[in-house]
Amino acid sequence: MQEIERNRVAIALIHHPVLGRKGETIGSAVTNLDLHDIARIARTYGIARYFVVTPYDDQQKLVTEILAHWQSGHGSTYNPARKEAFSVVEMAKSLDEAIAAMTNMFKRKPALVTTSANTQKSSVDYVQARHRINGGEPTLLVFGTAHGLAAEVTSRADYTLPAISGRTGYNHLSVRSAAAIICDRLLGEAIN
């Protein structure tokens, strides 16, 4: 099987604006494990960049410290495989900053693709999305923390991926699990 280096896909993990328990717009705190697990997923599937998006100064400081530890600090020598995963992680202050960085990287504005635990309008199925990505379209996969992306993000999407179904009707995966499954569906080896 042919191995790839990097593809034209990036991930943005949004901490604001996202939804709270009652559907209100909130900002969430960055969690260390979202950084680690999704960095490892990103590196596994040849994702070009994983943007951790937060508008809050203190959270940006936290992200910067964690990145420094794993990209060039003690963590990078203690665990080289984790350093490699963190090499694709970047802090961004807003979704627009992530889009600008990606546009600069590929000289073209990326397709903004949102994901949701609920089926949305303008859905593109996984086979079609995979085809678009394989065709070279720069693609920014946008994930929401807490109870998902707020409407001011989803309304900007070029297309939306269908909710992940395990055929039980239960749709409460962690964002880490959703990112793993979606990357495998879009970028993994074809298995059937």
Which residues sit at the interface with a copy of itself, rule CB under 8 A?
A: 1-5, 33, 36-37, 40-41, 43-46, 81-82, 84-85, 125-127, 130, 164-174, 176-177, 180-181, 183-185, 187-192
Neighbour-count burial of 190, counting CB atoms closer than 10 A to its CB (0-12 exposed, 13-18 middle, 19+ buried): exposed
- Nearer to a copy of itself (CB atom), residue 44 or residue 120: 44
| d(C-alpha 137, C-alpha 74), whole Å | 37
Q: How many CA atoms lie within 13 A of 77 on its CB side?
A: 3
CB-wise, 7 or 60, nearer to a copy of itself? 7
Using DSSP's 3-state secondary structure scheme, residue 154 falls into: helix
Q: Are 157 and 112 in contact (CB under 8 A)?
A: yes
Q: Check: CB of residue 63 under 8 Å from CB of residue 55.
A: no
Report, in Å, the least distance between residue 61 CB and a copy of itself: 23
Nearer to a copy of itself, 11 or 183 (CB): 183
Q: Which is nearer to a copy of itself, 15 or 95 (CB)?
A: 15
Nearest approach, Cβ of residue 49 and a copy of itself (Å): 14
Tell me the C-alpha distance between 129 and 185, whole Å: 9
Minimum gap (Å) between residue 179 Cβ and a copy of itself: 8
Minimum distance of a copy of itself from residue 34's CB (angstroms) = 10
Which of 99, 95, 9 has the alpha carbon at shortest distance from 54? 95
- As measured in angstroms, the least distance from the Cβ of 81 to a copy of itself is 5
Residue whose CB is less far from a copy of itself, 9 or 99: 9
